[in-house]
Amino acid sequence: MFTNEITKRLKIDYPIIQAPMAGGITTAKLVAAVSNNGALGMIGAGYLSPAQLREQIREVKELTSNAFGVNLFVPSEFKMVDEEIEKANNILNTFRSQLQIDKEPSILPSAEKTFQAYEEQIQVILEEKVPICSFTFGVPSIEIISQLKERGIILIGTATTVVEAQAVENLGMDAVVVQGSEAGGHRGNFISLHEDSLIGLMSLIPQVSDHVSISVIAAGGIMDGRGLSASLKLGAKAVQMGTAFLTCVESGAHAVHKEAILNAKDEDTMLTNAFSGKWARGISNKFTIEMQKYNSDIPNFPVQNTLTQSIRKASAAQNNKEYMSLWSGQSPTLARNETVEELINRVIVEANINY
Amino acid sequence: MFTNEITKRLKIDYPIIQAPMAGGITTAKLVAAVSNNGALGMIGAGYLSPAQLREQIREVKELTSNAFGVNLFVPSEFKMVDEEIEKANNILNTFRSQLQIDKEPSILPSAEKTFQAYEEQIQVILEEKVPICSFTFGVPSIEIISQLKERGIILIGTATTVVEAQAVENLGMDAVVVQGSEAGGHRGNFISLHEDSLIGLMSLIPQVSDHVSISVIAAGGIMDGRGLSASLKLGAKAVQMGTAFLTCVESGAHAVHKEAILNAKDEDTMLTNAFSGKWARGISNKFTIEMQKYNSDIPNFPVQNTLTQSIRKASAAQNNKEYMSLWSGQSPTLARNETVEELINRVIVEANINY
């Protein structure tokens, strides 16, 4: 009952995509387990160097012969303003001292290097013949799109509003992930403003479906068969699930992160720009709450991300959830600690129930 | 296929409730048309005096013999701080002069009178034997609940989070409307904080359904058969639709309000506390955008509502959408100008399609 054009093109049994969660969550083990169980595993490559990406792709290939994909962050120009960075460091030093670390990062990102790494990631994808590639934080250039399409790579964009979904379609991409306001992790808006782009899936899926003809993939708060069935009823052809896979046994997420989600209530998430300079949803903690008052003083992505790196690392090393990014969608009470196989089978069984 | 416990108790053919929209939208004509077409019409009585409420109930009874309901605002204590009101009036005078009106309101609301009017509204409901009564902005007292239940009146609460839905259930109410972040008009949070209570329906419906055993009614961005089917799949037993009925021929909404919704894009709504002192979602306009910078200086509901009354009235009289409250959910592109009969029939036909 779940086969449609996009599942056929992606060569998957079920219309389920594991969200590409960057930062060590989507290990080869997780990605391969998803692909081996009839859904689509995705490497979240946003923070991987080209060499790391190549290595991870090869690891996945060793663990599965099924289709899988890679997600890239599309870089944007960003400014490095010394005063801004000094101000941000002064704010962050309070947290650094609470964690008993004293390093301000010595190497800061450069726009030039970021763009270069992205171009090299694209080369890795071409060379390794990755069958599916998705993009967040923007859309790739026409040149990159044609390079990838020439090799038969299926391309998926990410949108938070109708106008962004139309931009993805107009570039000739094959499908669009529509990210509802429920979604955990970074917001994918790239044309619409942050405050305008927080649209719930009940509104977003049918409105986008009415305005594009490519396949719509729903993302945000979907955790079980109810979410899958509802998304299909609203007009989506598949779903992308992040938090549900994050708490799985095979995920590389820190144990403290998994526990935080498994113990959270529906109203425990919030949007914060304090970790990376881009807005993202996660379980609130000391860092996100105390940083709220500075949200207009935060350097752009990826500068702030580099500045908070030692804080996040130390917090994780100390098993202290208060300074880590605890990304989660708005449905944490639906999360379980189970294997990928158990999760996928459960979702499909639940979605087949006739209510 | 749509009959269930709650449709039987509400004595309706379809699991569709017309949202009680206060402020002249839910005229007797609209409410009766909804009830005459198999769904549940609701009078939004929040701003009606007890006498006006009685009159409107009698008008509805003349137009339909089917079940209908009334929604009340549960009052809370509020402060009247002279300096705050002066400050707010100073801000609002800019808008008053743009509309060429110069009246600051001479009579301000008092908490005592607000509570008294609410008690009288309850008496009207009892005397007029209204079969269904719903509540927003809080929950009624145990005394009021038992008074209403003794007469067999079915009681519906409004919640924005699991904890609020549990509070509604624990008081012995019969059903709970769960208001997603997509919803237009005023937010119904009464235990959870505003910023914590903006949960999308894809997350809210299943999480509440797992935590209460009373019927869940989904509200927010639901406009057609896709939204109805999806809500039922997520665990709701019925839906409450506001914006979809607001643009109907029979609705009492101002023509400028209807037009603003029919012309809006998905990303054109915003949350504002500037009209009433309570957060609410509507199409953004000059007033909501310019008032954003003052959002922490705004007197509590219903004080600010009284202060902005002449502005909203003058704007409407001048057919100027820039200073009116243009309440709308996040799905304005799904709105149509059709009759109530056409809307309800279309929703049911669409919901029966097997995707």
Q: What is the C-alpha to C-alpha distance for residues B246 and B335, in angstroms, rounded to an integer?
A: 9
Model pLDDT, residue A349: 96
Q: How confident is the model at residue B1 (pLDDT cuts 50, 70, 90)?
A: low
Q: What is the C-alpha to C-alpha distance for residues A244 and A233, in angstroms, rounded to an integer?
A: 20
Q: How confident is the model at residue B354 (pLDDT cuts 50, 70, 90)?
A: low
Distances (CA, A) of B98 to A168, B90, B102, B165, B323: 42, 13, 10, 43, 10
Chain A positions in Cβ-Cβ contact with residue B199 (cut-off 8 Å)? 182, 266-267, 330
Grouped pLDDT means (10 residues each) for chain A, 355 residues: 91 98 96 98 97 98 98 93 93 95 83 95 98 98 98 98 98 98 98 97 98 98 98 98 98 98 98 98 98 94 95 97 98 98 97 74
Distances (CA, A) of B294 to A110, B90, B272: 38, 12, 11
User: What CATH number corresponds to the domain at position B30?
Assistant: 3.20.20.70
Q: What share of chain A is helix, strand, coil (3-state, %, to 5)?
A: 45, 15, 40
- Rounded to an integer, the average pLDDT of B86-102 is 94
| B28-36 and B50-63 helices, crossing angle to 10° | 40
Helix (H) or strand (E) run with residue B335 in it: none
Q: Provide the shortest C-alpha distance from residue A180 to chain B (in Å).
A: 8
Residue A147 buriedness (CB in 10 A; 0-12 / 13-18 / 19+): middle
User: Could you report the per-residue pLDDT of B5-54, keeping only the tens digit for each?
Assistant: 999 999 999 999 999 999 999 999 999 999 999 999 999 999 999 999 99
Q: What is the C-alpha to C-alpha distance for residues B280 and B270, in angstroms, rounded to an integer?
A: 8
Q: Scanning every residue of chain A, which has its alpha carbon at the shortest distance from the alpha carbon of B265?
A: A162
Q: What is the C-alpha to C-alpha distance for residues A168 and A136, in angstroms, rounded to an integer?
A: 11
Q: What is the DSSP string of A37-78?
A: TTSBEEEE-TT--HHHHHHHHHHHHHH-SS-EEEEEEPP---
Closest CA to A181 of A166, A165, A201, A161: A201
**Best residue of A3, A176, A207, A233 to probe chain B, by most B CBs closer than 10 Å:** A233
Helix (H) or strand (E) run with residue A168 in it: helix A162-170
Percentage of residues of chain B with pLDDT beyond 90: 93
Residues in chain A: 355
Q: What is the C-alpha to C-alpha distance for residues B137 and B189, in angstroms, rounded to an integer?
A: 6
Answer whether residue B240 shows pLDDT above 70.
yes
Q: Scanning every residue of chain A, which has its alpha carbon at the shortest distance from the alpha carbon of B268?
A: A196
Closest CA to B210 of A329, A352, A202, A226: A226
Count of CB contacts below 8 A, A vs B? 159
- Rounded to an integer, the average pLDDT of B295-306 is 94
Residues A231, B230: C-beta atoms closer than 8 Å? yes
Give me the phi and psi of B269, to 5 degrees please.
-95, 160
ipTM, interface predicted TM-score of the complex:
0.97
Q: How many structural domains does chain B have? A: 1
Answer whether residue B188 shows pLDDT above 90.
yes
Q: Which amino acid is at A33?
A: A
Give yes or no for a contact between A344 and A35, defined as CB atoms under 8 angstroms apart.
no
Residue A318: count other Cβ atoms within 10 Å of its Cβ: 15
Answer whether residue B296 shows pLDDT above 70.
yes
Q: Provide the shortest C-alpha distance from residue A282 to chain B (in Å).
A: 12
Give yes or no for a contact between B5 and B17, defined as CB atoms under 8 angstroms apart.
no
Angle at A236 between CA A230 and CA A240, to 5 degrees: 85
Domain that holds residue A132: 5-352
Using only C-alpha atoms, chain A has a radius of gyration, in whole angstroms, of 19
The average confidence (pLDDT) of chain B is 96
Residues B202, A222: C-beta atoms closer than 8 Å? yes
Q: How confident is the model at residue B352 (pLDDT cuts 50, 70, 90)?
A: confident
Distances (CA, A) of A116 to A23, A44, A124: 20, 18, 13
Pull the structure tokens for residue A113.
């290097």
**Best residue of A6, A191, A203, A223 to probe chain B, by most B CBs closer than 10 Å:** A203
Model pLDDT, residue A109: 87
Give yes or no for a contact between A40 and A64, defined as CB atoms under 8 angstroms apart.
no
Model pLDDT, residue B104: 81
Using only C-alpha atoms, chain B has a radius of gyration, in whole angstroms, of 19
Give yes or no for a contact between B223 and B334, defined as CB atoms under 8 angstroms apart.
yes
Residues B330, A201: C-beta atoms closer than 8 Å? no
Which residue matches tokens 């998803």?
A34
